[in-house]
Chain A
């Protein structure tokens, strides 16, 4: 009955109901689309930079990340017990150093990295990132190079690169190895300066006696915060540092939070407008209906029930708006999830300069829809405080005199 009253009341002023609902539809559509685009962009960045190579959490010998010297290295067997921890799938050891790479008279400083071919194949699917050539085999002495580097140095498969660099404890490292494949590491920055080799080969090149500089901690879910805590609890942090992607890439973290804040600002403005629109509706409704509310209270309807009818009316309007908004937003979000927005021209340059792929898929994370529906309902409930106060104070004689 209460519902029936509220429902019929909605149709008394169709135009106002339509305007109110439309404003909610617009807000939900805009908010959900914008947020899923943002989250999608961050997710893509993270996946490309963090997920595809660097990992969410790394362990180094203390000070390595700041100084980047091979002397800060450690024995990976010291931390292999981590794989027994809940939420941690594996530990990938790496050797990360720098060298000058030359072919003919072209030279370029590169990151010359050693990694465990089998582990990286299993966990980051490095073999799938090949664009030409073939993947490491166990006894392989060959190199995989980033596709950007291939272009810059005009290399082809089978060419040998000559390296000169600083090794462990001040030794000189040098060697010459053939290129067996070209990989796409998804971020232009990495592609331009990365050379990969087998872990053993890198250890002998740098003269590292069974030591590594880096261990990537493989995690089960995207809940890296929990995994980081587990890791910190399980290793000797007086000797080792456990860093997450935000600590390793503060610029990326900052970029995301600045962008998020910008989005939040836009949403705050949007929601303020919606709040005023809904408040206006509530104001008008309470005013218009106060005669009837007076009658209902006079003949014996409890004020709490009158309040329910009044609040239900705006709640229904909002619910219709939210549902319609989500229904309209879904195909948009889905479309751009399947066909990511491909930035072009100047935007593409800017984004790629930051080291990101210029491709923005939307996020299908349902929490976005939930959050923004929730916000709308909260606004409805908040503006209805007015209704509650008004009806609580309503005197049937006064309101029926009008």
Chain B
């Protein structure tokens, strides 16, 4: 469970002060498939970065499970991200010198998982994102959609508590977007993986189960839908 309490964040950009978040309260439970939406500049990225421990709030608290992440040192926080949070980025951010398989395997190596477990899980994940025939390709030999699927597999490799994805489909065409969402939804339903993602794309919003709308650093609405399987 993720518990966000009264998060406030102000950027001090030299002269200008920007209040990116003005008091966010939020609880996200295991197994959710949640979209964070809102106009540009409403604070979606800032919120996701703070939940992911990449940025720190000026005020308020983020609790993940029983951990108040503000209490962790920098190194503990990095280690916490490795073991508890999966990240999918807008521009994929795979390691260019590593193949699809190696990119997925990487976090498990950092977790010191043994060879057998690593190989099995890597193969399983690449199969589940439909890339079993691309395992030895480097990122620049794959399409954007394929790279983002590798990124999803990478995010899941470390068996995180939840996956954070900031506009994961922004760089993808509609086919690739639909494809990625299918995969994420299936992983959510079949393996109970928690996804929290931000998006501008109405087709993506339509498929989310919970939609949190932000504006001006505040939550405007928070609605849970019945799943409409297509």
A interface residues with partner B (beta carbon < 8 Å) = 1, 4-5, 8-9, 12, 291-292, 295-303, 305, 396-397, 400
- A contact face: mostly helix, strand, loop, or mixed: helix
Q: Within the assembled complex, what's the spacing in Å between the Cα atoms of A24 and B164?
A: 45
**Once the chains bind, are A400 and B93 in contact (CB under 8 Å)?**
yes
Which 3 pairs, one residue from A and one from B, show the smallest C-beta to C-beta distance?
A300-B82, A8-B97, A300-B81
Question: Least Cβ distance of A163 to chain B in Å?
Answer: 84
Question: Least Cβ distance of B111 to chain A in Å?
Answer: 8
Residue of A nearest to B81 (CB): A300
Q: Given A396-B54, A397-B49, A400-B89, do A300 and B97 touch, yes or no (CB 8 Å)?
A: no
Q: Within the assembled complex, what's the spacing in Å between the Cα atoms of A88 and B81?
A: 68
Residues of B within 8 A of A301 (CB): 78, 82, 110
Residue of B nearest to A10 (CB): B97
Q: Within the assembled complex, what's the spacing in Å between the Cα atoms of A291 and B75?
A: 19
Residues of A within 8 A of B154 (CB): 299
Residue with the greatest number of chain A CB neighbours at <10 A, chosen from B89, B95, B97, B109: B97
**Once the chains bind, are A298 and B95 in contact (CB under 8 Å)?**
no
Task: Known A-B contacts: A295-B89, A300-B79. Give 4 more (CB < 8 A).
Answer: A300-B158, A302-B78, A305-B110, A400-B89
**Once the chains bind, are A12 and B78 in contact (CB under 8 Å)?**
no
CB < 8 Å neighbour of B95 from A296, A297, A300, A302: A296
Interface string of B34-66 (1 = CB under 8 A from A): 000000000000000100101100000000000
B130 interface hit (Cβ, 8 Å)? no
Residues of B within 8 A of A296 (CB): 95
Residue of B nearest to A292 (CB): B95
**Once the chains bind, are A292 and B109 in contact (CB under 8 Å)?**
no
Question: Least Cβ distance of A16 to chain B in Å?
Answer: 15
Q: Within the assembled complex, what's the spacing in Å between the Cα atoms of A339 and B55?
A: 68
**Once the chains bind, are A297 and B78 in contact (CB under 8 Å)?**
yes
Residue of B nearest to A300 (CB): B82
Question: Least Cβ distance of B59 to chain A in Å?
Answer: 19
Question: Least Cβ distance of B195 to chain A in Å?
Answer: 16
Question: Least Cβ distance of A390 to chain B in Å?
Answer: 15
**Once the chains bind, are A303 and B75 in contact (CB under 8 Å)?**
yes
